Chains A and B, each alone.
Chain A
């Protein structure tokens, strides 16, 4: 089966920087197999995410979407790509425009991708908000009226309103309280199941990764040091860095 998204020998170097931020990265996102990108700051997680989102062009190597090279200039392909791949961000306070009503925010992908007009977007927006467990009147309110966890739900509603196949999530729960975190993890698991969403999640939190992703790739300083089945990577880590990450997770006393 052709992977939905694929990075092949990708490297990226930012203008003016000494070396590559990511190097020699090959990853495949297959439909139905959620993938976690695990690593600490400076590992290049965010850069990989930008590449997967079509926001950055690799210095070398290829980004493939449905088997064909992703070209940021090809409007037709980009439209299909944007519709298929959506994103949820880490900071729910930065990811919602404070001056827009929630309804307009959630409708943005529908309108920008030319799927719906303002008039026809309404029911879909309401459905998306309901799916993430937000009250019906949320659409008419502004982001500052909601808590961090609710905002993250709104962001998830925006990302899923155009029924994408892949949802990229950049540390989607790390800014949230523990009790809220569990609820949002549950929501993502539910969407995976019910909508058939494939999740690509960047995270440093191994327990969240273990809760949501079938496959895991561990990144250290811009390179993939280990990847495979999550159970295998976390259960029998082959790389010393992976072992250190697992040992570092603070545990509750038994």
Chain B
């Protein structure tokens, strides 16, 4: 008898709903609401904005109310407009980075998982170095080579994250490859590509998706950090990071300029983290099988 058998000696056919699961799905719902709020702002900003982004007619540092829901900044631009554009940029930064990280990371990770001997050692050493390499330095190099745009920031963040994803995928895939069903596939003449598509990816994706959701939150934070330093999207595209930076000097007199992007940033990051947390339990094959 294995340890698992000791813990679940009877295997019922159907999953029984536990309190744990309900709490998890509540986590998922709250996460979706928080992240969805920002996503909605971002979506609407594509079609409609209260004011043009370069409209400075609002008067400097106007308070909330009147024609401006959140007031204006020190150049007289509408803050709500900026927050909406910022939402769009944040979502784009998150999605873009995760897309890059997933594409490069999964490819590299799966290849590394198949590697053996010295090749395996080399690949994992390379990934470790890449992970240790500061994202900021990478971003500065890319900005120096290209220009300070949202694309450069996303590229830098995505590249940095792909090393993290690759290392995770390598470990997960290696664990899958150790199973007898992989050997069975080999002795049935299943090609490597079909083994990856048919066995490896389906078995790692639940854990992977959870991690990518976390990476999304980290990417949003990283983009805010980079644009705070002037390495992100250039004006008049108001990124939350740049809004924070611009509102810094006038924080005591006009706190809304810093509070609004700050709160939304926190909401989005908490939201995706909650989603990741909720997904972990509903998707993870280990917890699902234990319950099953």
Contacts and interface: CB of A to CB of B under 8 A. Distances in A.
A98 B203 contact: yes
Which 8 pairs show the lowest CB-CB distances between chains A and B? A95-B180, A109-B188, A112-B190, A82-B189, A89-B180, A94-B180, A99-B202, A97-B181
B18 to A, nearest CB: 17
28 contacts: A53-B183, A55-B183, A55-B187, A82-B187, A82-B189, A83-B189, A85-B187, A86-B187, A86-B188, A89-B184, A90-B180, A94-B179, A97-B179, A97-B181, A97-B199, A97-B203, A99-B202, A99-B285, A100-B202, A105-B181, A108-B184, A108-B188, A109-B188, A112-B189, A113-B189, A147-B11, A155-B184, A158-B184
B146 interface: no
A144 interface: yes
A144 B190 contact: no
Contact of B289 (A55, A98, A112, A158): A98
Interface of A: 15, 53-55, 78-79, 82-83, 85-87, 89-91, 93-100, 105, 108-109, 112-113, 144-145, 147, 155, 158-159, 162
B292 to A, nearest CB: 5
Nearest to B285: A98
Contact of A94 (B181, B188, B189): B181
B203 A55 contact: no
Contact of A95 (B184, B191, B289): B184
Contacts of A83: 189
A87 B184 contact: yes
B20 interface: no
Contacts of A78: 189
A109 B181 CA distance: 12
Nearest to A107: B188
A79 B189 contact: yes
Nearest to B201: A99
Contacts of A159: 184
B180 A55 contact: no
A80 to B, nearest CB: 10
Contact of B185 (A85, A93, A112): A112
Contacts of B199: 97, 100
A177 to B, nearest CB: 9
B181 A95 contact: yes
A53 B91 CA distance: 51
Interface string B115-129: 001000000000000
Contact of B181 (A55, A96, A112): A96
B289 A144 contact: yes
A95 B186 contact: no
A74 to B, nearest CB: 13
A98 to B, nearest CB: 6
A99 B11 CA distance: 17
A113 B184 CA distance: 13
Contacts of B285: 98-99
Contacts of A108: 184-185, 188, 190
Given A78-B189, A87-B187, A112-B185, 17 more contacts: A53-B183, A55-B183, A82-B187, A83-B189, A85-B187, A86-B188, A87-B183, A89-B180, A93-B2, A97-B179, A97-B181, A97-B199, A98-B203, A108-B184, A109-B189, A147-B11, A158-B188
Given A79-B189, A144-B292, A112 B194 contact: yes
A85 B198 CA distance: 22
Contacts of B191: 112
Contacts of A98: 203, 285, 289
Interface string B227-244: 000000000000000000
B120 to A, nearest CB: 12
Nearest to B204: A99
Which residue among A53, A108, A147 has the maximum number of chain B CB atoms within 10 Å of its CB? Answer: A108
Contacts of B289: 98, 144
Contacts of A112: 185, 188-191, 194
A47 B13 CA distance: 37
Nearest to A158: B184
B286 to A, nearest CB: 10
Nearest to A155: B184
A158 B13 CA distance: 23
Nearest to A92: B180
